[in-house]
Amino acid sequence: MDSKHVEALLEKYWNGDTSLEEEAQLRAFFAQGNVPASLQSAASLFRYFQQEQQKKLAPSFDARVTKSIRQRQGGKIIRMVNLVNVARIAAGVLVIVAAGYLIRQEVSKMYPEDTYSDPKVAFEETKKALMMISKSFGKAQQEAGKIKMFNEAEEKIQSPKADDTEQKASI
């Protein structure tokens, strides 16, 4: 490959416009030993990339990093999965406690505490309340009697008409 073509590819490379094939051509060009002096700085960069790409991590790398982290922190590593589960349980418990509190408040409103400490006073107040209900019931019974009388009158009015139609039908 000629140096003019390599310089054009390098220009595209620095601008970020090269394709993967063009980058492979540049790597192959700089991997060979005879590179012009004007391109030595780019050659050293591409050789560095090649060396770094060939490096591999040791199999014990993860264990060493974990050990180093534990020594620095002086404790154990807490996994987020455990924290999420604990948060879920705590939220459930909070909902149950709040629901219990609200239900207890509603029940206490429905059944208020006794307001009378003296049973005789409570009895007299109960008698008054029952007398009020009895008077209201008596008025309601009178009104129901009026409705009953109205219904009977309506039946009497309708029944002669029914008798008339039967008489006309027989004629």
- Per-residue pLDDT tens digits for 23-50: 888 888 888 878 888 888 888 888 888 8
Domain boundaries, the chain: 3-55, 62-113, 115-171
Whole-number pLDDT of residue 95: 95
What pTM was estimated for this model as a whole? 0.35
Give exposure, 33-70, as e/b (b: 16+ Cβ within 10 Å): eebeeebeebbeebeeeeeeeeeeeeeeeeeeeeeeee
Token pair listed for 131? 């007398």
Tens of pLDDT, residue by residue over 119-154, are 888 888 889 989 888 888 878 878 888 888 888 888
Q: Which region among 47-51, 85-89, 111-115, 166-170 has the lowest average model confidence (pLDDT)?
A: 166-170
Per DSSP, the three-state class of 74 is coil
